[in-house]
A and B are shown apart, each in its own frame.
Chain A
Amino acid sequence: MKDVINSPKLHDCRDAFVAVLERLGADNPKVVAVCNDSVGSSKLGGFKSKWPERLVNVGIAEQNMVGVGAGLANGGLLPFVCGAACFLTGRSLEQIKADIAYSNANVKLIGISSGMAYGELGPTHHSIEDFAWTRVLPNLPVIAPCDSIETAAAVEWAAHYEGPVFLRLSRVGVPDLLPPDHKFEVGKANLLRDGDEITLVANGTLTHRMLKAADILAEQGIGARVLNMATVRPIDVDAVVAAARETGAILTAEEHSTFGGLGSAIAEFVVAEAPVPMKILGVPGIFAPTGSAEFLLDEFGMSPAAIAEAAVALIARKSSRT
């Protein structure tokens, strides 16, 4: 595992997304891409050159983009609606609620450059609210893959799933962490490393950092379980309850506000099913300062070393209770 997580080869998950999208597009003429002038940032140039008529660019108009996506699905097409996650979810949240989730439209919402990917551009472009906004909506699986392998598998799954999906992708490079033949299962966490003293749970770009933190903990003789939990809704309740019961402490980290994201979703079940000490790492409910994604994650206590420190502190809380 160490070789994998320290691999210098980093991948932009958008590349995995468009590779699968173009393969799906070649097999199925119903696959269309919808975007808000984001052909470049959504990496849809290849799709556009192959099938220009199937690239529906509504211009800079996200409310219309999401509504048009719902209408295309009503007309029998399979739309992938792509835009920067901050605008896709923030600007058109009511369209996502009414036209997509409540109408149960077969639309795949692809949030690009989520989390802190646009770190330097400031809080308007940080998408650290999108889990909270989307995971309260019925009918809408919310998924943040951890690497290019999981991204490809999740896109493939979404294309064959009948119903709405929100896929939250980053543009920050991550190494491949999952096996090449990984098959995505919605609502199912992946055990990346076992341990019995604490469970570290993350998704998106944070899974990589969690594995590095687990390495640091291992050097200190601490056995940490690591779960990759791409699906924020529906949460893998079995994995959460097992983590609580078997390791006694849960530390989460996410490229999101600490309010309403993955950690909150896990905590909702921990308090009900198996209360144990928990800590939620993320952006602590503030507008973040300027800086690269890597800088900001470090700044908010999500460097591997800081995660490991938080884990040690959490384990101490656990023992102080007994």
Chain B
Amino acid sequence: MQPNDLDRIARQIRLRDLQAVFEAGAGHIGGEMSAIDILTALYFRVLRIWPDQPKHPERDRFVLSKGHVALALYVTLAKRGFIPEEEIGTFLKPHSRLNGHPNCNKVPGVETNTGPLGHGLPVAVGMAKAAKLTGANYRTYVMTGDGEMQEGSNWEAIASAAQFGLDNLTLIIDHNRFQQGAALKDTNNLAPFPAKLEAFGWDVTEINGNAMDEIVPALEHRGGRPHCIVAHTNKGHGISFMQDKVDWHHKVPNAEQYEIAVVELSEAL
């Protein structure tokens, strides 16, 4: 699949995500829009996966550590054939398996339950270590938010990944510069990330995380050390009035805003 095709799919995922947030009256739309290009590249180009065999032992692993953008993952999984596309309409409804954070025991394609921040990377380290111990060829990818990197458990995991020589592990930091209530820089500014990861013994690639021609090569990078992609993204990417506005962490568009956003995303299709 070529970057142009991936861009088209990403826009379709954005549009469905927007509709679902509007219909459900809840979601984390800002961080979903920032992450969707990377999710698209993973699921439609990079990951070796079999939607009809979600537990295939040789599948590549993807862990969405920033579990609050579960909806973006659900829409991606639906589009890739893991769950029915019409099921997105049940998002957050009573007894839907599509709750606000992904559940691996209910949703095929989800590897581990996330929601509390700072959990996905340690689990991904275990997955990558298991592949080393068993000789499996799968690769493990994990996406965190940039604010999420404030959780100390991530740094425990970063240290151990280097110690274990996990060259089969890729960490993607969705560096959209905003956390729930404020900008990263006004809260606990861990940026710039690259030197910190390099100091722990990781390879680091910095990219525009909303540009497919930069995302794909970065995800396909193979080196001798754990790999961190610092993905510079825009919160609310693709919807002009949401972009880089902290309010849109989990705000829901009103009817007028929704129409504007639909038009913007549809124009791009």
Residues of A with Cβ closer than 8 Å to B? Answer: 30, 32, 53-54, 56, 58-59, 61, 63-64, 66-77, 79, 94-95, 98-99, 102-105
Which 8 pairs from chain A and chain B are nearest by CB?
A: A71-B126, A75-B130, A67-B122, A64-B156, A61-B156, A68-B126, A63-B153, A71-B127
Chain A residues lying within 8 Å of B115, measured Cβ to Cβ, are 98
Q: How many residues of B contact A (CB 8 A)?
A: 36
In whole angstroms, what is the CA distance A76 to B59 when docked?
Answer: 12
What is the minimal beta-carbon distance from A70 to any residue of chain B, in angstroms? 5
Task: Collect the chain B residues with CB atoms within 8 Å of residue A59's CB.
Answer: 156, 159-160, 163
- CA separation between A58 and B57, bound complex, in Å? 24
Bound complex: CA A59 to CA B140 (Å): 22
> Across the interface, which residues of A come within 8 angstroms of B61, CB to CB?
74-75
10 contacts between A and B (CB under 8 A): A67-B121, A68-B157, A70-B123, A71-B112, A71-B123, A74-B61, A75-B136, A79-B126, A98-B113, A98-B114
- A68 partner residues in chain B, CB cutoff 8 A: 122-123, 125-126, 129, 157, 160
Contact in complex: B105, A77 (CB < 8 Å):
no
Contacts beyond the supplied A71-B126, A104-B104: 4 A-B pairs with Cβ under 8 Å: A61-B159, A72-B127, A75-B129, A99-B122
Residue B54 interfacial (CB < 8 Å): no
The answer to whether B130 touches A61, judged by C-beta atoms less than 8 angstroms apart, is no
- Docked-complex contact A95 and B122, CB < 8 angstroms: yes
Main secondary structure of the interface of B (DSSP, over half): helix
Nearest-neighbour CB distance to chain A for B172, whole angstroms, equals: 17
Given the interface pairs A74-B112, A98-B119, A99-B123, the reply to whether A67 lies near B130 with Cβ below 8 Å is no
B159, A70: Cβ atoms closer than 8 Å = no
Cβ contacts under 8 Å, A94 to chain B: 116, 119
Q: Does B124 contact A (CB under 8 A)?
A: yes
Digitize B102-122: 1 where CB-to-A-CB distance is under 8 Å, 0 elsewhere: 011100000111111011011
* CB atoms of A67 and B153 under 8 A apart: yes
User: Smallest Cβ distance from B67 to chain A, in angstroms?
Assistant: 9
- The 8 Å CB contact of A67, one of B103, B136, B157, is B157
Given contacts A98-B113, A103-B113, contact A71 B129 (CB under 8 A): yes
Nearest B residue to A64, CB-CB:
B156
Does chain A have a CB within 8 A of B152?
A: yes
Residues of A within 8 A of B123 (CB): 67-68, 70-71, 74, 99
- Whether the Cβ atoms of A63 and B134 lie closer than 8 Å is no
Does B199 sit within 8 A of A, measured CB to CB? no
| A63→B122 contact, CB < 8 A | yes
Of B116, B122, B163, most A-chain CB atoms within 10 Å: B122
